[in-house]
């Protein structure tokens, strides 16, 4: 049987919710379902405020505006991330300063931050790869010391945590995606920004309202409507929110099932790791992930590419992931790599992701594992 890499979550509530949204007539945004999603996310971090957006990309663009990134500023990011992470800051005229990743997690290596900071540095953007948290204790300490803003790219990390705190709620700003490939989707596209610094909230409201004081006017705080700042229409539509709302109610159940599938992969592949065929991801003791991605690394890129073809021939879709941004033509023009690239390139070339989705059956997973074990049975097949 053919096994896809991913399948968008459908809980069964979406059709009825969308029907209700359409019948209610107010589908432009901030309706009943939008408020439900916002309130659900704010319960994770009661001191934060959440604004729903059209995508994870627009959440990052919103964050770059809110952080007041200016031309000539420098933003520290991992090169091993999706292009949306850096595009948001490049649009503001910033230079991206790339730092190497940790080999065992593929997250930004916080030990390299100090060396990357210059008088032009404005922000640090940690990306929680595969929903496993970066070392936020060190990152926040460095940021505080140098008076930098921290914007968490928590695109795939809703319901994940670091030392008991939800990812996206630790930095000054957190960004989420509800794309079809994430654990929860707003009908294929969607996102959210979590504002954790109260000093940023008033400006966030203005930016969210196309740069106007619309919200303040509605609350009777001002007497006239006017433009105050840059802004844009970031609103998630009520139809998208209707899709998302029913999924969030099931969030812990969905994440638990995905973590269960993740753990089965890890347990079954541990023997291959001990034998030296693969390297498995490390989950630090203080991290709780949501099972968004299961990855492992082969010994070489050639083995990985051969493995991908082998699985494709068996009707199973497995994929590599990001190509380091600093080595791309545009990345070279718009940024620089700080220090040595010890892990980013070489480790990314060995990484492969396995099928994982909420309604993946145990039989489907056993089939994937069977073919993985077949591939690695004889050493000469992968030499």
Residue 87, pLDDT > 60, answer: yes
CATH architecture of the domain 14-249 equals 3-Layer(aba) Sandwich (3.40)
Distance CA 342, CA 340 (A): 6
Candidates 20, 10, 118; CA nearest to 74 is 118
pLDDT band at 342 (very low <50, low <70, confident <90, very high): very high
Summarize pLDDT for 125-168 with one digit per residue, the tens.
Answer: 999 999 999 999 999 999 999 999 999 999 999 999 999 999 99
- What are the backbone angles phi and psi of residue 162, rounded to the nearest 5°? -130, 115
First to last CA, the chain: 28
Per-residue pLDDT at 379: 57
Per-residue pLDDT at 135: 98
Residue 381, pLDDT > 60, answer: no
Per-residue pLDDT at 383: 52
CA distances from 307 to 200, 271, 320 (A): 48, 17, 11
Q: Average pLDDT, stretch 98-108?
A: 98
Per-residue pLDDT at 29: 83
Distance CA 164, CA 33 (A): 28
Residue 382, pLDDT > 50, answer: no
Distance CA 96, CA 155 (A): 19
CATH architecture of the domain 251-382 equals Alpha-Beta Complex (3.90)
Residues 6+ apart with CB under 8 A from 380: none
Summarize pLDDT for 227-275 with one digit per residue, the tens.
Answer: 999 999 999 999 999 999 999 999 999 999 999 999 999 999 999 999 9
Q: Helix, strand, coil proportions of the chain in percent (round to 5)?
A: 40, 15, 40
pTM for the whole structure: 0.96
Is residue 26 within 8 A of residue 241, CB to CB? The reply is no
Summarize pLDDT for 347-368 with one digit per residue, the tens.
Answer: 999 999 999 999 999 999 999 9
Summarize pLDDT for 184-236 with one digit per residue, the tens.
Answer: 999 999 999 999 999 999 999 999 999 999 999 899 999 999 999 999 999 99
Strands 173-177 and 165-166: unpaired
Summarize pLDDT for 15-57 with one digit per residue, the tens.
Answer: 999 999 999 887 888 899 999 999 999 999 999 999 999 999 9
Quote the mean pLDDT of the chain.
96
Q: Average pLDDT, stretch 295-306?
A: 97
Q: What is the residue extent of each domain of the chain?
A: 14-249, 251-382
Distance CA 300, CA 289 (A): 27
pLDDT band at 300 (very low <50, low <70, confident <90, very high): very high
Is residue 148 within 8 A of residue 26, CB to CB? The reply is no
């Amino acid at each position: 049987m053919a096994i896809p890499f991913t399948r968008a979550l459908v809980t069964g509530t979406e059709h009825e919710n969308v029907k209700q949204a359409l019948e209610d007539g107010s589908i432009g945004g901030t309706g009943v379902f939008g408020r439900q999603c916002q309130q659900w996310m704010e319960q994770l971090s009661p001191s934060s405020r959440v604004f729903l957006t059209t995508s994870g990309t627009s959440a990052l663009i919103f964050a770059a505006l809110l952080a007041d990134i200016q031309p000539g500023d420098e933003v520290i990011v991992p090169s091993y991330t999706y292009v949306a992470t850096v595009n948001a800051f490049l649009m503001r005229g910033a230079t991206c300063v790339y730092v190497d990743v940790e080999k065992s997690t593929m997250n930004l290596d916080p030990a390299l931050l100090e060396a990357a900071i210059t008088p032009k540095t404005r922000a640090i953007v940690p990306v929680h790869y595969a929903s496993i948290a970066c070392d936020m204790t060190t990152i926040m300490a460095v940021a505080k010391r140098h008076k930098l803003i921290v914007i968490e790219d928590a695109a795939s990390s809703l319901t994940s945590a670091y030392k008991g705190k939800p990812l996206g709620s630790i930095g000054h700003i957190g960004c989420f995606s509800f794309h079809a490939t994430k654990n929860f989707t707003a009908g294929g596209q969607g996102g959210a920004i979590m504002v954790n610094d109260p000093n940023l909230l008033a400006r966030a409201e203005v930016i969210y309202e196309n740069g106007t004081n619309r919200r303040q006017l509605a609350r009777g705080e001002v007497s006239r409507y006017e433009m105050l700042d840059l802004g844009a229409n970031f609103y998630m539509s009520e139809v998208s929110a209707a899709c998302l709302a029913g999924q969030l109610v099931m969030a812990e159940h969905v994440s638990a099932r995905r973590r269960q599938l993740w753990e089965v992969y890890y347990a079954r592949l541990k023997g291959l790791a001990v034998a030296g065929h693969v390297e498995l991801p490390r989950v630090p003791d203080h991290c709780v992930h949501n099972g968004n991605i299961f990855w492992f690394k082969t010994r070489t890129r050639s083995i990985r590419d051969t493995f991908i073809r082998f699985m494709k021939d068996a009707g199973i879709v497995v994929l590599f992931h990001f190509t380091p941004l600093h080595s791309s033509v545009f990345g070279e023009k718009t940024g620089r790599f700080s220090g040595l690239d010890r892990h980013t390139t070489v480790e990314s070339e060995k990484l492969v992701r396995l099928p994982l989705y909420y309604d993946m059956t145990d039989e489907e997973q056993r089939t994937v594992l069977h073919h993985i074990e077949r591939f690695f049975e004889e050493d000469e097949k992968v030499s």
